[in-house]
Amino acid sequence: MLKDCGFYRFQVTVFDNWGGSISSNWGNSLFQFDDNINQPPLSPSSGFEPDSAVVNTFYPELKWMPGYDPDVLDRMRYQVILSRDRTFKSRMYIIQETAYDKTETKTSSPLLENRQYFWKVRSLDLEDAKSEWSKVNTFWVNSINEAPDGPVELISPKSFTELRPEDSFWWFQTTDPDPGDSIAYILELNKENSFVLPIISYRVDSHTPEGVWKENYPVPPNAIGVPLSVIPDSDLLEDNALYYWRVLAIDCGRLKSPPPYNPPRIAFNRENNPPLSIREGFSPKNGEVVETSRPEIHWEEAKDPDFFDFHYNLVYQIELSQNAQFIPGATKVYKTEPGQNFIKIKELLEDNKRWFYRVRAFDEHGEFSEWSLVNSFITNAVKEPPLQVKEGFLPKDSMIVDTKKPLISWLPTSDPDPGQSERDIYYIVRYFRSDNTKKVRQVKSKLGVTSLHLPLLKEDKYYVYQVAAVDPDGKKSDWSQQVVFGVNSIDKPPEPFLILSPYFNEDSVSTEASFMWQNTYDKDPGSEITYYLHFGTDSLFLTNTKVVVLSSPEGDSVVYTPLQKFSYFTRYFWKLVAVDNTGTERWASNTDQRPFVFKTIGLRKHYAETSLPTRFYLHQNYPNPFNAETRIRYEVAKYGPIEVTIYNILGKKIKVLASGNHSPGIYDTFWNGSDLKEMPVPGGMYICQMTARGFSSHRKVVLLR
């Protein structure tokens, strides 16, 4: 029995009567047996197009190899189902049928772009018997090439962070809406966010380069990273410069993903730099006075060339000392919390002292700045009064002023409280009369002025004054010492006084006599009297005159004895003036207009009546020869004019030793070797001659030099 759908060959042999035969060709006798029972066809099993492919049309053409139908001479058409659901359970699908014997079809409806479709096919014979569905095939529709999805999501470094040479860039992988498109990445860095000519443009494949281990970074497994060290142009990056960075995805068609709207900005830090020195914002300001012993010190936040060594991570060190050199052992050292740009001094600082301070900053890496400029402040927690005024008093003590409104002045004092200058202090002057201490008055100076005029005072009175300083806080110093001064606006001469001895025209004045006069006084306060005594043998006081200056002594009278004795038998003139310390004069007994005159006489010896001389006689001088002085004795027998004179050997009168009327007696006179002008004469022989009525005698006198 023949099998259905089996192929068979047959051969026909014709025999004739003569025993001959002829056979048909086996090759021409192939047939298929059909048992006339319809069998369903088999589905196509190969030649599927497209399968796992991308089509670039919305109307793709589906193809396959023909299916198989076991029925002889049966014909097949095909049914295709197309869906976006692999299970074809969705109601969204397309079914198309082909004509008989046609193994391809074109979709009748446009498909969606960038979508995956699934399709399968089955066979139908002439009797509509259906085969099983073929295997499921798939394809993607991509008629228009599109750029990769973007912007690419960046992971690290984040905006406003620091990038070091050993750091890496990380970002998430992106996708391409075009099915089957492959993606690479371009990493770009630039100072401007326009990226027209980026400083770095580095291509990265869709995988992390070797040498970058994800386990060392907290990034997801679908991230891509590249270390800065593998980028060839990384040496073009400038230290401490800001850069924008971005990653663009690029597909096979060289289309790039959209750039980020705000790319991250990072700071490249090739090497760590120390913070910059602090230069501003110091409080207390340099030289400022603080009214507390626990001041709070502030300064401007330090800047760090490393962009992301932020000020809130900086720690500050402060040194505080009374010495600007910050000597170890005499310096207080403080440290702040991170980001704290002030320090509160907890211990009590010594008051009224200048304190110097300086600050430096430390970053997180231990690098520190240079010390800031040295600033200082002065503590003044307790207000103190100014110091006592002690110097520069005018009028000085016991001084006399020539005005009834005297100017009182003094040297400025200081205030222990810092910040109080001399210009901030005013002064109070209290004063009273020395003879009325209960009536005290006060006057006040202007700020910073160390002088003032007293109101109208009384003439010829003594006053006492004191000065006190007052600071802006109202604190007053102790009163200064008492200073006494007198008022003498009108100068008056000394009071009139009289000459007592030798009186006018007195005769026979001893050669050892003294001058005596009343002691005068001056009503002017503080006045001191000086006496000028003029005496000599010249009535005009031009020659042979001496001037003696004497201070006013205690007592009612003044006595002056000349150092040299008067000459014997000589007429002298004298006058006396009292002068106060302003030069005002008062002449004694009007001697400025009429000097007093007196005449000296030698030493006179009186004898009893029985022993009076009975003759005129000139004795030889003794000693003879002499050098300094010699005595000459002579006797007078009768009352009458007598003259004893010295002549030189030429007969020239040298000096008169005695002249005038003499009473009887024995007299001594002396010659000191001088002439009429009291000038010394040369050594040699001189003649001493005595003359009287009816008498003349002489002696030789030898003077040695």
pLDDT in tens, 290-312: 889 999 999 999 988 887 777 88
Domain 399-487: which topology?
Answer: Immunoglobulin-like (2.60.40)
Q: Which amino acid is at 580?
A: D
**Residues pairing with 469 in the sheet:** 427
Domain boundaries, the chain: 1-37, 53-141, 154-268, 288-379, 399-487, 499-600, 603-703
Residue 565, pLDDT > 90, answer no
DSSP output for 267-303: EE-SS--PPPPP-S--BSPTTEEES-SS-EEE-PPP-
pLDDT in the model for residue 608: 45
- pLDDT tier, 4 (very low <50, low <70, confident <90, very high otherwise): confident
pLDDT in tens, 586-623: 999 998 999 999 888 754 544 544 578 899 999 999 99
The CATH classification number of 288-379 equals 2.60.40.10
Percent residues over pLDDT 70 in the chain: 97
Percent residues over pLDDT 90 in the chain: 60
The CATH classification number of 154-268 equals 2.60.40.10
Q: Which CATH architecture has domain 499-600?
A: Sandwich (2.60)
Mean pLDDT confidence for 76-102: 90
pLDDT in tens, 310-344: 788 899 999 999 999 999 999 999 999 999 999 99
* pTM over the 0.85 mark: no
Residue 409, pLDDT > 70, answer yes
pLDDT in tens, 8-32: 788 888 888 888 888 888 777 877 7
d(CA 198, CA 204): 16
- pLDDT tier, 482 (very low <50, low <70, confident <90, very high otherwise): very high
- 8 Å CB contact between 267 and 204: no
Q: What angle do CA 293, 295, 297 make, to 5 degrees?
A: 155
Please state the length of the chain.
705
pLDDT in the model for residue 80: 95
- 8 Å CB contact between 300 and 372: no
Mean pLDDT confidence for 555-572: 87
Same fold, 154-268 and 288-379: yes
- pLDDT tier, 217 (very low <50, low <70, confident <90, very high otherwise): low
Residue 507, pLDDT > 90, answer no
pLDDT in the model for residue 185: 94
Whole-number average pLDDT of the chain: 89
pLDDT in the model for residue 677: 85
pLDDT in tens, 412-440: 999 888 877 888 999 999 999 999 999 99
CATH fit for domain 603-703, picks 3.40.50.2300, 2.60.40.10, 2.60.40.1180, 2.60.40.1930 = 2.60.40.1930
pLDDT in the model for residue 30: 78
Residue 626, pLDDT > 60, answer yes
Report which of 42, 266, 244, 261 is spatially closest to residue 134, judged by C-alpha positions: 42
Q: Is residue 311 classed as helix, strand or coil in its secondary structure?
A: helix
Q: Which amino acid is at 260?
A: P
pLDDT in the model for residue 107: 92
Q: Is residue 230 classed as helix, strand or coil in its secondary structure?
A: helix
Residue 688, pLDDT > 90, answer yes
pLDDT in the model for residue 439: 92
CATH fit for domain 53-141, picks 3.40.250.10, 2.60.40.10, 2.60.40.1180, 2.40.50.140 = 2.60.40.10
